[in-house]
Amino acid sequence: MALLEVDRLTVRYGAIEAVRGISFSVGEGEIAALIGANGAGKTSTLLALSGMLRPAGGRAVFQGDDITDWPAEKIVRAGLVQVPEGRAILAPLTVLENLELGAWVHGRPSAHDLDKVFLMFPRLAERRRQAAGTLSGGEQQMLAIGRALMGRPKLLLLDEPSMGLAPVVVSTVFKYIQVIHSEGTSVLLVEQNARQALRLSTSASVLEHGVITRSGPSAELAADDSIAEAFLGHR
């Protein structure tokens, strides 16, 4: 069953068409990946789905509701929550304060939700009173994901979670994504790290210059010579 259905989505910046009528879906309980080079339109797609950009055409249906013209706060309340590229944490605030802000959709932070985040990310528990801006890059990514989880998402949109992180930290972040998925949250993963994205996801779409050029089971795309040459660095 499709949790999210995207139909002919178009995003423009003035005269520039960044996303050109793309269609794809994310199934209930699935990790789906959207891979492509920098500038392919991946972030623009997520911003349109989360209500941060108004699409120029097409539609998005989440849990049976057409959310294309919904404001961002209504989309978050429905259970579609984005972890933005670059993390967008509030550096002067503490780790705890950043997490509490993620729970605004429920009116007030839940001790149960906080405990779940701290159990998943013990490093955040240790640094809960520390200013978020003093965390390492990996810790800030954990915080950004934890803040999103405070909103109890049904579908988590992850925009380039590996960006700027050391390889060993990237592996840790992807393990956390697997745990989140195993606990019942569906995921739409946008990544330049195609190898990791295809390894983690069950289905994937390749976005090039605003157009989806290939889609299918992730294992099949990873085994395709043309995909391997273009995105995985080998034939």
Residue 116's alpha-carbon distances to 12, 111, 120, 150, in angstroms, are: 39, 9, 6, 9
Q: What confidence score (pLDDT) does residue 185 get?
A: 97
Domains, the chain: 29-53+72-232 (3.40.50.300)
Q: What confidence score (pLDDT) does residue 27 get?
A: 96
> Could you tell me where the DSSP H helices lie in the chain?
42-49, 72-78, 95-101, 111-120, 122-126, 137-149, 167-182, 194-200, 218-223, 225-227
Q: What is the pLDDT of residues 172-228, one digit of tens each?
A: 999 999 999 999 999 999 988 888 999 999 999 999 999 999 999 999 999 988 887
* Banded model confidence at residue 233, pLDDT cuts 50, 70, 90: low
Q: What confidence score (pLDDT) does residue 235 get?
A: 42
Q: What confidence score (pLDDT) does residue 110 get?
A: 86
Q: What is the pLDDT of residues 137-163, one digit of tens each?
A: 999 999 999 999 999 999 999 999 988
Quick one: which of 144, 133, 143, 77 has its CA closest to 104?
77
Determine the average pLDDT of the residues in 14-24.
96
Q: What confidence score (pLDDT) does residue 198 get?
A: 94
* Banded model confidence at residue 12, pLDDT cuts 50, 70, 90: very high
Residue 104's alpha-carbon distances to 31, 124, 145, 163, in angstroms, are: 26, 19, 15, 27
Q: What confidence score (pLDDT) does residue 140 get?
A: 95
Q: What confidence score (pLDDT) does residue 137 get?
A: 92
Q: What is the pLDDT of residues 30-84, one digit of tens each?
A: 999 999 988 899 999 999 999 999 999 999 999 999 999 999 999 999 999 999 9
Q: What confidence score (pLDDT) does residue 232 get?
A: 64
Query: 12: helix, coil or strand?
Result: strand
* Banded model confidence at residue 229, pLDDT cuts 50, 70, 90: confident
In which residue are the tokens 């840790």 written? 172
User: Residue 131: is it exposed, middle or buried by C-beta count within 10 angstroms (0-12/13-18/19+)?
Assistant: middle
Q: What confidence score (pLDDT) does residue 34 get?
A: 96
* Banded model confidence at residue 234, pLDDT cuts 50, 70, 90: very low
